[in-house]
């Protein structure tokens, strides 16, 4: 008998790599994959039967066969041919080994015998009937039609011994593939949420640019406007640029939350609220709503990223302007809270928010407006406040509308 080679063909690359004899795993060892199980089984088959060649043709997810493991003496194992795979169909229906030379089998199996040199085959089916692999034996001592009984018995014992671990290995493989797909879908969902936040965050800075362009023709000679409002616009554009830089730095998001921009400048409440009022005065005027502030004197800086704080108050104020009817008021208040906290509140003159809807206000994509998409502003605001160690809640304003209260630690 010539020298024998044990080889395993990778289902992904189709290349061949030498494999040594695989001993059965210990009970506490990690679960082997199906290909390792087949490799060990093919080795033991040739040792038990003395056959010159044996192979395991495993089933891909699409149903085609590939050489998962083989022992041969002369030539390398041939890749299963389509006609051979089709000819094996009646063999799959049997729960026992088959001598490929027995009468009554399809003539196409002759190609399997002549082209591949095998004379006996046995299907390896999972416990649920799933087709896992076809085990084949052959050699001069086992011509088709006269395969030794002990070879058929060895094949039968092998497939019965393999059934349980092979079923588990196949199931584990399917779960691994499924897990990978779920992770990919999760990443895509995270990316979708991130893009939604980016769109929302970019939209608000564009409000300042749009307002500036609308007012510019009537204030070409207004030096105060040119100085003050232009600075507001430049600050918003700089914030949008920092936002996009942050997104680029986190091109592989780990979760749906958009990272903060990292602007470390001091967050002085009076400066931020004054800037927001200048920015939104025109919009308030278009809605015929009065925009007012009531600030306690000498407030400390807030322990929050300036861009994040500005985004929170801008979101809340824009919502308040939308909810307030003509001739109503939106009031931005700021005062000390407790020993070292700062409380900001945005009150509107609208109809308020029903109690049953309040628990859902901070959920992504929840909105009470049926005439427009959105529902991210409050969810983003809550996340930013939570990350700063603060809190945000809704209650009733003294005027009867809604009041959003933000409590932040002082810087």
* CA dihedral of 224, 228, 230, 234, whole degrees rounded to 10: 160
Tell me the C-alpha distance between 135 and 118, whole Å: 10
Ordered alpha helix ranges (H), 143-219 = 149-215
Residue 211: name the closest of 236, 244, 238 by CA: 236
pTM over 0.85: no
- Structural domains present in the chain: 5-183 (3.30.450.40), 189-409 (3.30.565.10)
Higher pLDDT, 172 or 391: 391
Segment 80-98, tens digit of pLDDT: 777 667 778 888 888 889 8
317-328 per-residue burial string, b: 16 or more CB within 10 A, e: under 16: bbbbbebbeeeb
Average pLDDT over all residues of the chain = 77
pLDDT of 32: 61
Could you give the 3-state DSSP secondary structure of residue 199? Answer: helix
Bridge pairing between strands 267-268 and 290-295: unpaired
Write the pLDDT tens digit of every residue in 7-25: 444 443 333 333 333 333 3
Q: What is the pLDDT of residue 75?
A: 56
CB atoms within 10 A of CB 184: 10
pLDDT in tens, 32-44: 688 888 888 888 8
φ, ψ of residue 406 to 5 degrees: the values are -115, 125
Instruction: Assign 5 a pLDDT band (cuts: 50, 70, 90).
Output: very low
Q: What is the pLDDT of residue 21?
A: 35
Per-residue pLDDT tens digits for 204-230: 677 767 777 777 787 777 777 777 777
pLDDT in tens, 364-408: 767 766 555 455 678 888 888 998 999 999 999 988 899 999 999
Average of pLDDT values for 166-173?
A: 78
Confidence band, pLDDT 50/70/90 cuts, at residue 190: low
In total, the chain counts a number of residues equal to 411
Q: Is 233 helix (H, G, I), strand (E, B) or coil?
A: helix
The token duo for 74 is 């002369």
What was the pLDDT predicted at 177? 65
pLDDT digits (tens, 9 = 90+) for 230-272: 777 777 777 677 666 655 554 444 444 444 444 545 688 888 8
Residue whose pair of structure tokens reads 């009031």 in the numeric block: 331
pLDDT at residue 179 tops 50? yes
List the alpha helices (DSSP H) in 34-148. 34-49, 82-87, 89-92, 109-116
128 band by pLDDT with thresholds 50, 70 and 90: confident
125 - beta bridge partners? 131
| Range 340-362 average pLDDT | 90
What is the layout of strands, in order, in the sheet containing 290-295? 290-295, 329-337, 341-347, 402-409, 391-396
Asked whether 329 and 335 are in contact (CB, 8 A), the reply is no
Angle, CA 309 vertex, CA 268 and CA 248 arms, to 5°: 125
Percent above pLDDT 70 for the chain: 72
216: DSSP letter: G
Residue 343 has pLDDT above 90, yes or no: yes
Given a contact cutoff of 8 angstroms between Cβ atoms, the answer to whether 130 and 170 are in contact is yes
Give the pLDDT score at 249: 53
Q: Which two tokens stand for residue 35?
A: 């290909």
Predicted pLDDT at 324: 93
Q: Is 16 helix (H, G, I), strand (E, B) or coil?
A: strand
| Residue 410: DSSP 8-state | B
The predicted structure's pLDDT at residue 25: 39
**Strand 98-99 versus strand 65-72 pairing type:** unpaired
What are the counts of helices (DSSP H) followed by strands (DSSP E) for the chain? 9, 14
């Amino acid at each position: 008998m010539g020298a024998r080679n044990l080889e395993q063909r990778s289902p992904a690359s189709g290349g061949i790599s030498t494999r040594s004899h695989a001993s059965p795993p210990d009970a506490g060892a990690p679960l082997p994959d199906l290909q390792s199980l087949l490799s060990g089984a093919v080795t033991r088959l040739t040792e038990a039967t003395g056959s010159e060649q044996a192979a395991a043709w495993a089933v891909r997810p699409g149903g085609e066969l590939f050489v998962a493991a083989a022992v041969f003496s002369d030539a390398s194992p041939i890749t299963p041919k389509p006609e051979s795979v089709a000819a094996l169909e009646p063999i799959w229906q049997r729960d026992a080994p088959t001598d490929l030379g027995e009468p009554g089998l399809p003539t196409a199996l002759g190609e399997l015998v002549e082209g591949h040199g095998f004379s006996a085959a046995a299907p390896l089916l999972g416990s649920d009937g799933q087709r896992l692999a076809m085990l084949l034996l052959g050699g001069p001592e086992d011509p088709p039609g006269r395969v030794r009984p002990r070879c058929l018995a060895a094949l039968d014992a092998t497939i019965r011994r393999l059934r349980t671990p092979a079923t588990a290995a196949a199931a584990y493989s399917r779960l691994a593939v499924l897990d990978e797909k779920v992770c990919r879908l999760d990443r895509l969902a995270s990316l979708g949420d991130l893009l939604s936040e980016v769109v929302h965050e970019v939209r608000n800075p564009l409000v300042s640019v749009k307002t500036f362009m609308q007012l510019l023709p009537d204030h070409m000679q207004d030096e105060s406007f040119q100085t003050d409002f232009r600075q507001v616009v430049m600050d918003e554009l700089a914030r949008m640029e920092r936002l996009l830089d942050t997104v680029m730095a986190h091109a592989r998001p780990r979760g749906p939350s958009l990272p903060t921009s990292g602007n470390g400048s001091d967050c002085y409440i009076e400066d931020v609220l004054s800037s927001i009022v200048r920015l939104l005065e025109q919009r308030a005027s278009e809605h015929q709503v009065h925009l007012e502030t009531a600030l306690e004197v000498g407030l400390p800086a807030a322990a929050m990223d300036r861009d994040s704080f500005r985004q929170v108050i801008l979101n809340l104020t824009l919502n308040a302007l939308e909810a307030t009817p003509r001739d109503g008021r939106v009031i931005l208040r700021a005062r000390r809270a407790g020993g070292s906290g700062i409380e900001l509140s945005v009150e509107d003159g609208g109809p308020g928010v029903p109690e049953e809807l309040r628990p859902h206000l901070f959920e992504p994509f929840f909105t009470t407006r049926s005439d427009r998409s959105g529902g991210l502003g409050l969810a983003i605001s809550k996340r930013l406040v939570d990350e700063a160690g603060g809190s945000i809640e809704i209650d009733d304003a003294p005027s009867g509308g809604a009041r959003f209260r933000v409590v932040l630690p002082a810087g």
